[in-house]
Amino acid sequence: MSDSKAIFLKDATVNAADGDQRAFINKALGGYYTNRDLQKARYRDWERARDAASMAKWSAVNDLANVLEKFVGNFERNGGVVHWARDAEEARTIILKIAEDVKAKAIVKSKCMTTEEIHLNDALEKAGYGVVESDLGEFIQQLRGEAPYHFVFPCMHVKREAISALFTKHLGTAPTDSPEELTMIARRHLRQLYIDADIGITGANFLVAETGQISITENEGNARLTAALPRIHIALSGIEKVVNHLDDLSVLLPMLATAGAGQPMTCYNTLYSGPRKKGECDGPEEFHLVLMDNARTRILADPEQRDSLHCIRCGACLNVCPIFKNIGGLAYGTTYQGPIGSVITPHLRGLKQWNHLSGASSLCGACTDACPVRIDLHHHLLHNRRNAAKQSPTLFDLAFHHGFTFVIKRPWLFALGGRIFRATLPLLQKLPLPYMGAWMKTRDLPKAPAQSFRDQWKNQNV
Amino acid sequence: MSDARSDIFARIREALKVKAPKPHLKGDGAAGKTSTVAKPWLPDGGETAEDSLTILAEQLAKLKAVLIRVPDHASAAKAVAELSASKNWKKVAYHGHDLLRPVVAALTCETWEADTSFDKQRLEGCDAGITTCESIVAQLGSILVSSASSGGRALSILPHVHVVVAESSQIVPDLGAALALAKARHGDQMPSMLSFITGPSRTGDIERILVLGAHGPKELYLILIG
Ligand code: SF4
């Protein structure tokens, strides 16, 4: 068993038994379900909107070389600087080099899962830079020293009392149980930090090839401030974030907000096309964009699962997933949690160590239904399972597969086996069966019918 | 060693040698042929100007943004002056624009044309920022500001209150129309920032409970002339 699997099984078991925490998560998501349904009802045809959204992403991803090239040409013409990173290490090196070149002291960041993916904060801190997460949820998680619980709602599992205690400890503020007051504490604390920072680091939700702009979606205004006040702006993005046309955003932006957060539109959707232009009064002097592969081309090379690169990271699949809701986001041990995380993590970090996530699914298909860009999520979980069994089958897989094939090809053996199985079922219930322990702990074996189906069929005298 | 850029492009080209099937579409596929065609499946933005205004007012109310409709420029100035007095604003920053100068002239507090210099600390000390906008999206209640129409990037996000003064002719039905207008207006000289603002800054990060004014403005006013 891989380490990551052992940790996963342990954490998942503990969390699933924590009724309080599960109730808390369910309550937190309750408002989302209502708002999402209200907003979806405003769409005159949600399914056709999903068609358009998935086609917008499909056409860009399946023509990635050309679209990316066009984007980069336009981005550079707008005065931005593009850097290429094959993997996480290269991306970190590039960003550290920029920080060194501009003699940065303080860095402010807005929420960006791609920077979580490459553990950028650790690298920057090790190099001696102060880095502050400015998104409220990320700020809280940074103070807690914990990874985000959900890639859209990073601290949704933390109760207000814990946040109040955290702020008292780190910021010296008086305890309060009001979410409003807690938010204002963070607001006051972060304001001066934006002003003092030399570098602002953001992610990107979309890269628009037609105009060379990057689009950033957020609710709080922290990304706006991060890209407005510091003298250097660095954005980190996966290469799969491109779309062809500016107009694609007229579909993708509202759907991202509605699917993921039950909003008509996220509060700030901002397009940046370069550093401060001539005649503009503010904005950064330099705008760097780091375009990173980090295993995305590996997913691209798998036509069956290529559509998982369409993901716009809305979080809808997490919000509806029975597994996510029961085991919580931290148990996954991944940057991307929930169904999409279970699909792509094996590609990013290795199928052998991460395939267990694809097993943690009821295959109910709620994720696929929720996905605004029609990623075939629950089938991809099956694809991962199949690929893992092919790539490195366990002894059990092999024995079971060959045994089953042998028996099913011989009807007499199948019938005999069935008879023996029916006769011994009551006995099996009491025996400690190899491999079956975890299954049997919470389940009874069914009662054996007196006759097999084939006998019943034979005996009905038609 | 080859450089990262050509390596990545080589990997992409190699990967795309095998074609992937199109997504399973539910509609007739017309929706897939994107770009500037009408999108009668998205939320409605109104057929007529009157419809659009009704939808806009509904959306803004739900977003907890305040819409103040005034008949003419003089009453816009009066509305902002009243707002300033009732909220007791001491310092107000504004974008130097013909639509705004008479508005600001009617204020009794300290005012500052933010475009003239970039002074973050001074801007942070302002109670409100007053800007114009590029367009207003009825469909979603979004206001499109830009570094050109809003005195740069910071004026519409750093002060605690944001006031937008606009003419009702700036309302467009939907997001697609707003993007098309921006493209037509700026061509390949887009302002370095274009931002759709949809209600006052907000967060739900603490127990998914909505709080306004996370980092950006806590209050958003749209003064709509005509
Ligand atoms: S897979 Fe689909 S539902 Fe899940 S986060 Fe990505 S876009 Fe949203």
Q: What does the block give as tokens for A308?
A: 């998982």
Contacts B215 to A, Cβ<8 Å: 134, 136, 187, 190-191, 220-222, 224-225
AA letter at A223: A
Cβ of A223 less than 6 Å from ligand 1: no
Q: What's the pLDDT at A462? A: 58
Is 80 exceeded by the pLDDT of residue A412? Answer: yes
Q: Which atom of ligand 1 is nearest to the CA of A339?
A: 4
Among A260, A294, A328, residue at a domain's last position: A294
Among A250, A272, A294, residue at a domain's last position: A294
Mean pLDDT value across chain B: 93
- Which of A136, A220, A282 shows the shortest C-beta gap to B118? A282
Split at pLDDT 50, 70, 90, the class of A32 is very high
Domains of chain B: which residue ranges? Answer: 43-225
Q: What does the block give as tokens for A124?
A: 């920057």
Does one domain contain both A279 and A401? no
Does one domain contain both A226 and A107? yes
What part of B 65-104 touches A (C-beta under 8 Å)? none
For residue A380, tell me if it sits in a domain: no
Split at pLDDT 50, 70, 90, the class of A440 is confident
How confident is the model over A251-292, as pLDDT tens digits? 999 999 999 999 999 999 999 999 999 999 999 999 999 999
- Which of A52, A180, A272 shows the shortest C-beta gap to B31? A52
Mean pLDDT value across chain A: 93
Is 60 exceeded by the pLDDT of residue B34? Answer: no
Rg (CA), chain B: 21
CA-nearest of B88, B56, B31 to B224 is B56
**Tokens 């850097």 appear where?**
A83
Cβ of A370 less than 6 Å from ligand 1: yes
Does one domain contain both A415 and A287? no
Which residue range is the domain that position A422 belongs to? 395-459
DSSP B199: S
AA letter at A383: H
Cβ of A366 less than 6 Å from ligand 1: no
Nearest CA in chain B to A33: B208
Q: Of A426-435, B70-79, B81-90, B126-135, which range is least confident?
A: A426-435
Q: What's the pLDDT at B35? A: 47
ipTM tops the 0.85 cut: yes
Split at pLDDT 50, 70, 90, the class of A437 is confident
Whether the CB of B38 is below 8 Å from some CB of chain A: the reply is no
Q: What's the pLDDT at B37? A: 63
Element (H, E) at B177: helix B175-186
**Total number of domains constituting chain A:** 2
Mutate to test the interface with B, among A282, A290, A299 (most CBs of B within 10 A): A282
Q: How far, in Å, from the CA of A150 to the mean position of ligand 1?
A: 12
Q: Which atom of ligand 1 is nearest to the CA of A367?
A: 3
- Mean pLDDT over B12-27 rounds to 91
Does one domain contain both A69 and A208? yes
Cβ of A252 less than 6 Å from ligand 1: no
Probe residue for ligand 1, chosen from A54, A253, A314 as the CB with the greatest number of ligand atoms within 8 Å: A314
B169 three-state secondary structure: helix
Does one domain contain both A86 and A195? yes
For residue A348, tell me if it sits in a domain: no
Split at pLDDT 50, 70, 90, the class of A396 is confident
Split at pLDDT 50, 70, 90, the class of B85 is very high
Q: Of A164-168, A432-436, B162-166, B186-190, which range is least confident?
A: A432-436
Give the separation between CA A338 and CA A317, rounded to whole angstroms.
7
How confident is the model over B138-173, as pLDDT tens digits? 999 999 999 998 999 999 999 999 999 999 999 999
Does one domain contain both A283 and A407? no
- The 3-state secondary structure of chain A, one letter per residue: CCHHHHHHHHHHHHHHCCHHHHHHHHHHHHHHHHHHHHHHHHECCHHHHHHHHHHHHHHHHCCHHHHHHHHHHHHHHCCCEEEEECCHHHHHHHHHHHHHHCCCCEEEECCCHHHHHCCHHHHHHHCCCEEEECCHHHHHHHHHCCCCCCCCCCCCCCCHHHHHHHHHHHHCCCCCCCHHHHHHHHHHHHHHHHHHCCEEEECCCEEECCCCEEEEEECCCHHHHHCCCCCEEEEEEEHHHEECCHHHHHHHHHHHHHHHHCCCCCCEEEEECCCCCCCCCCCCCEEEEEEECCCHHHHHCCCCCHHHHHCCCCCHHHHHCHHHHHHCCHHHCCCCCHHHHHHHHHHHHCHHHHCHHHHCCCCCCHHHHHCCCCCCHHHHHHHHHHHHHHHCCCHHHHHHHHHHHHHHCCHHHHHHHHHHHHHHHHHHHHCCCCCCHHHHHCCCCCCCCCCCHHHHHHHCCC
Q: Which fold has domain B43-225?
A: Rossmann fold (3.40.50)
Cβ of A372 less than 6 Å from ligand 1: yes
B116 three-state secondary structure: helix
Q: What's the pLDDT at B111? A: 96
Among A294, A321, A336, residue at a domain's last position: A294
Of all protein residues, the one whose alpha carbon is nearest to atom 6 of ligand 1 is A311
In this complex, do A222 and B36 lie within 8 Å of one another by their Cβ atoms?
A: no
Q: Of A207-216, A354-363, A383-392, B34-43, which range is least confident?
A: B34-43
AA letter at B180: A
Does one domain contain both A281 and A427? no
Q: What percentage of chain A reaches a pLDDT higher than 90? A: 84
In this complex, do A306 and B43 lie within 8 Å of one another by their Cβ atoms?
A: no
Does one domain contain both A271 and A402? no
CATH code of the domain in which A83 resides: 3.40.50.10420
For residue A328, tell me if it sits in a domain: no
- Mean pLDDT over B43-54 rounds to 96
- In Å, how far is B102's CA from the nearest CA of chain A? 22
For residue A170, tell me if it sits in a domain: yes
Contacts A261 to B, Cβ<8 Å: 204
How confident is the model over A204-248, as pLDDT tens digits? 999 999 999 999 999 999 999 999 999 999 999 999 999 999 999
